[in-house]
Amino acid sequence: MSVTINIKNAVKRYGKSTIISGLSLEIREGEFFTLLGPSGCGKTTLLRMIAGFNSIEGGDFFFNGERINMIDPAKRNIGMVFQNYAIFPHLSVKNNVAFGLKNRKYPKDKIESETQKFLELMKIDQFKDRMPNRLSGGQQQRVALARALVIQPDVLLMDEPLSNLDAKLRVEMRQTIREIQKRVGITTVYVTHDQEEAMAISDRIAVMKDGIIQHIGTPKDLYQRPANLFVSSFIGRTNILEAQATVDGASMALNFKDGFQVILNNVKPEFLQNRKVIVSIRPEEFVISENSGEGLRAVVDSSVFLGLNTHYYVHLDSGQEVEIIQESKIDEIISEKHTVFLKVKAEKINVFTEDGGSNILEGVNNDVAAGEEA
Amino acid sequence: MARKKLFDVWAIVYLAIFAAYLLFLIYPMFTILQNSVIGENGKLSLEWFTKFFSQKYYSETLIHSFSVTLCTTILSLVIGVPLAYFYNLYEIKGRSLIQVLIILCSMSAPFIGAYAWIQLLGRSGIVTKYIQSSIGITIPNIYGFNGILLVLTLQLYPLVFLYVSGALRNIDNSLLEASDNLGCTGIRRFFKVIIPLCMPTILAAALLVFMRAFADFGTPLLIGEGYRVFPVEIYTQFLGETGTNYNFAAAISVIAIIITAFIFLFQKILSSRFAFTMNALNPIERKKAKGVKGFFIYLYTYVIIGLAFLPQVYIVYQSFQNTSGKLFKPGYSLDSYKTALKRMGDSIPNTFIIGGIALAAVVFLAILISYFVVRRSNLITQAIDTMSMLPYIIPGSVVGIALVMAFNKKPIILTGTVGIMVIALCIRRLPYTIRSSVATLQQIPLTTEEAAISLGASKMKTFFKITVPMMSNGIISGAILSWVTIITELSTAIILYNSKTVTLTLAVYTFVTRGNYGYAAALATVLTALTVISLLIFMKVSKSKEIAF
């Protein structure tokens, strides 16, 4: 059975310092939900509050409408995967997986069959009599996942489960985790600081900073229409340019320092005023032309050829450095010191208020609860 | 190239150490074995073994030793493991004081505890008298089995505590959380998760407690009375007042070694079933002890520690009491100190000379041997390693007897010299110091030394300029602990000493046996003060605060 998790005005304090102040969140039944943010943003703290390992200083936590604040961690029916797996070193693989079932006093044959089922599901059946110190990191990860899932929890919580694996295994395991989660259909809360991992694995992501949720949305929402400047620069790479906006009817013109202008027709009405703005242009949202004479003038500093794409590092007349990604062409790579002109894909770029606090364009999907918005 | 390697300086050093071990350990052990199978008529015979096992008077010492040691081991675990659990899982007020007191208790000489308990609960002990006069009940006899069990348990459970605390510090908090999360909490978690995780350490602690209790000589001698045990019997046969019998003492020694060797192997087999290592990323978070549970945690902790520390306190108190001959009088003064210091001869200088030389030798040899074992493993260095561990299973009094038997006749006569005392202390202490040095060295990556060599430093220079300084923290803390064990050593020294080599511990023992309790208390207090100072230095120097025995 899967549940909806509702968090209302959660507060976490350590002594006098407040880590989380009044955070609200809804996690839907059966969804893969990721808490993403830089270290120290409070994502693990929040996860551990859901698990019951951290005390809750304020607010309410609900599973399917039932308040769980005071329920003992052992009784919340949660499966948890820890960063370092927390495999019991004194128990064999099989006994690690069976541990939770034994505590629930299941009949022997049921324990046997359920354990076997999940050993097979996680493809660790052949190691079942091994001791954990003879397992590789990836195998230990599978044991941890099997152990968490075998108890048929209502919620699966995962705290940076892939951070101890090497890059290749990480990609493989995140695929496995995603598949298993879909198959079991369990509500999952996942914590990571790796935005690529979060994008690859999640239905929805909550981007956190300083204990506050900045944006909740699908990976596509976050990348294409980030709610604010922080989200835009935390998810993927981007170039930040300043511009002066001038309004002409329903459209807005962005005037860059050297006279280059971009016209936008998708600005929210309430932001249609002459104002200073911050423009976020991702490296692939530039178009380079070598001789057109139109666009931002830039000089190439260096280039990196990566097969599919070629990265250019250039500087503008203002001295600002900008990164550009172009699909590799069969012709020569543009050489250093060469002058180029940059245009932008106007429908893709994002524009923020001067303080970076909100995106002024239409089409931002943000599920952050109303009272929560920064 | 190969020829040059043969004359490696290190080869000379390890061959010298190898030879020294052959001479000072293997040869004496061989002498004991040889003496044990020579009959009264000077011919090869097993008559001493037959005598031991056929006469109940002797063979029952074996059963006595075994049962009191086993009970001590079990009781030490039963007391020490929960104490370590409470101490490491809950916030307990006065934790650093608790730590210091526990270490202090584990370091005092056991016979001092025995004599203090006699003063308290013995036939004319103050508690006994008080209870008798106020309630009219005679408390159970503390001489014999009960007394030995009481004294040794209170002396040895601190070792269990220190060992298990170390293991608990290596348990990652997430393991406990995983257990909670899977529905296993409280007392169930203690038995299903915590005990199994600490099992390798618990077994190691059990072995150490067993070996110490089995070999302890001072406690049963003072408080055992009619309850005769092994080490005392060896001593009596060797130096007793009613006629000595070297060959019989040798035979009993051999039996003792066989038994401890079996226990050692049994423990190794048992602990090989728990082959896993842990390293805590996030150590266990201590919780506040609250409510009824909290009350019992505090009660248990303070009572247990108070009991273990009581003898020390009582002795310090006694040392200030006035005495008249062997009796205590009302009033307090420093007279006991004055007289004791006058009558103790050279025991303080002796303690520093013998202890100091032994300590220097132990540290020096431990560094070299651990370096050979970790970095230059070959047949000879491995043989050194194995030999250096042998004394771990040989009771201290047996080491003493073996050295006397080997070196009281030509060509080498060492008995009665400072040299034989130093050798005995080295042999006894080295197994512990080598183990901790090996552990320290194993954590230093080989690449650091290779870097030094690639930069043009010689092997010798690399060792002294790179390896030794990197080991120094571990070495210094190990050395201070060795120092404390060296100055409180009794069971070997009692066999080897003569009037010129009396140490502080021996002086205390002599006063106790003569009944000069006031003087004994004064000197014991001096000894305790020395121990406390050494421990404070240790805590200052050692960053890890881990105690390695």
Question: Which residue, of B290, B314, B338, is where some domain finishes?
Answer: B314
- Min Cα distance A51 → chain B (Å) is 8
Q: Quick one: B336 and B361 in the same domain?
A: yes
Phi and psi torsions of B326, nearest 5°:
-95, 0
**Residue A9 Cα, gap to closest chain B Cα (Å):** 24
**B180 in reach of chain A (CB within 8 A):** yes
Kindly state whether residues A282 and A328 are assigned to the same domain: yes
Top-confidence residue, A275 or B123:
A275
Mark whether B533 and B442 lie in a shared domain. yes
* Structure tokens belonging to residue B202: 């618990």
Task: Tell me: cis bond preceding A269? Omega within 30 of 0 counts.
Answer: no
Same domain membership, residue A324 and residue A220: no
What is the rounded CA–CA span in Å between residue B115 and residue B524?
Answer: 11
Phi-psi region at A92: left, alpha or beta (left = phi > 0; alpha = psi -120 to 50): beta
pLDDT at B542: 66
What average pLDDT does range A89-111 have in this prediction? 91
Q: Which of B292, B314, B336 is the last residue of a domain?
A: B314
Sequence-distant (6+) residues with CB within 8 A of B525 are B315, B316, B319
In this complex, which of A75, A84, A90 lies closest to B174 when CB atoms are compared? A84
Q: Please state whether beta strands A261-264 and A251-255 pair in parallel, antiparallel, or not at all (unpaired).
A: antiparallel
> What pLDDT is attached to residue A7?
94
Is residue A339 located within the same domain as residue A207?
no
Residues A62 and A160 in one domain: yes
In a shared domain, residues A202 and A243: no
Q: Give residue A283's pLDDT band: very low, low, confident or very high (50, 70, 90).
A: very high
Are A133 and B275 within 8 A, CB to CB?
A: yes
- Tell me, yes or no, whether B3 lies in a domain: yes
Could you give the CA distance from residue B276 to residue B268 in angstroms, rounded to a whole number?
14
Distant-in-sequence, close-in-space partners of B229: CB < 8 Å, separation ≥ 6: B61, B64, B65, B68, B148, B220
What CATH code is carried by the domain that includes residue B199? 1.10.3720.10
| Residue B295 placed within a domain | yes
> Which parts of chain B sit beneath pLDDT 70?
1-7, 241-243, 542-549
Q: What is the CATH number of the domain that holds A50?
A: 3.40.50.300
pLDDT for residue A301 is more than 90: yes
What does pTM read for this prediction?
0.82
Q: Among A229, A249, A268, where does a domain finish?
A: A229
Number of domains in chain A: 2
Q: What is the ipTM of this complex?
A: 0.76
Measured between alpha carbons, how far is A220 from A199 in angstroms, rounded to an integer? 8
Do residues B227 and B148 touch, judged by C-beta distance below 8 A? yes
Residue at which a domain ends, from A204, A229, A254 = A229
Task: Please indicate whether, in this complex, the C-beta atoms of B172 and A132 are within 8 angstroms of each other.
Answer: no
Q: How many domains does chain B have?
A: 2
Is residue B287 located within the same domain as residue B366? no
B473 - beta bridge partners? none
Pairing outcome for strands A275-281 and A350-353: antiparallel
Strand order in the sheet with A251-255: A261-264, A251-255, A239-248, A275-281, A350-353
Residue B187, min C-alpha distance to chain A (Å): 13
Cβ atoms of B231 and B189 within 8 Å: the answer is no
Q: Is residue A83 domain-shared with residue A210, that is, in the same domain? A: yes
- The last residue of one of the domains, among A229, A260, A278, is A229
What is the pLDDT at residue B242?
66
HSE, side-chain direction, 13 A CA sphere, residue B387:
24
Q: Are residues B266 and B341 in the same domain?
A: no
Residue-wise pLDDT for A135-154, tens only, equals 888 899 999 999 999 988 99
Helix residue ranges per DSSP H, B135-217: 145-169, 173-181, 186-189, 195-215
pLDDT of residue A372: 44
Query: Do A336 and A307 reside in the same domain of the chain?
Result: yes
User: How far B167 CA lies from chain A's nearest CA (Å)?
Assistant: 13
The answer to whether residues A294 and A175 belong to one domain is no
* pLDDT given for residue A8 in this prediction: 93
Residues B310 and B332 in one domain: no
Residues A266 and A194 in one domain: no
Burial class (CB in 10 A: 0-12, 13-18, 19+), A49: buried
| Segments in A316-369 forming alpha helices (H) | none
Residues A244 and A187 in one domain: no
Do A225 and A352 form a contact (C-beta atoms < 8 A)? no
CA distances for A232 relative to A95, A245, A351, B502, angstroms: 45, 20, 10, 80
Residue B192 sits in the same domain as residue B306: yes
Judge if B409 and B482 occupy the same domain: yes
**A264 is in which domain, residue-wise?**
237-372
Please report whether residue B41 resides in a domain: no
Burial A208-245 (b: 16+ CB within 10 A, else e): bbebbbbbbbebebbbbbbbbbbbbebbbebbebebeb
Report residue B316 as tokens. 């310090």
pLDDT reading at A341 higher than 70: yes
Q: pLDDT digit string (tens) for A348-368?
A: 999 999 998 899 999 889 988
Q: CA–CA separation, A176 vs A195, rounded Å?
A: 18
Considering B299, B314, B329, which residue would you say is the last residue of a domain? B314
Residue type (1 letter), B40: E
* pLDDT of res. A326: 92
Task: Judge contact between B157 and B308, C-beta under 8 A.
Answer: yes
Given this model, what pLDDT does residue B75 score? 97
Q: For residues B364 and A247, what is the distance between their CA atoms, to the nearest angstrom?
A: 84
**pLDDT band for position A1 (cuts 50, 70, 90):** low
Q: Do A170 and A149 reside in the same domain of the chain?
A: yes
Range of the domain at B216: 46-314
Name residues 255-294 of chain B within 8 A of A (Cβ): 274-278, 281
| Tens of pLDDT, residues B402-448 | 998 899 887 778 877 888 999 999 999 898 888 888 888 888 887 88
Residue B62 and residue B4 share a domain: no
A44 with A95, same domain?
A: yes
Cα–Cα distance measured from residue B468 to residue B445, given in angstroms and rounded to the nearest whole number: 13
Q: Which residues of A touch B178 (CB under 8 A)?
A: 80, 82, 86, 88, 147
Co-location of B233 and B324 in the same domain:
no
Are A88 and B278 a contacting pair at CB < 8 A?
no
Q: Coil, strand, or helix at residue A258?
A: coil
Cα dist. B283→A331, B89, B166, B167, B298 in Å? 58, 10, 11, 11, 22
Is-contact B428 B391, C-beta < 8 A?
yes
Q: Are residues B268 and B378 in the same domain?
A: no
Asked if B249 reaches chain A (Cβ–Cβ under 8 Å), the answer is: no
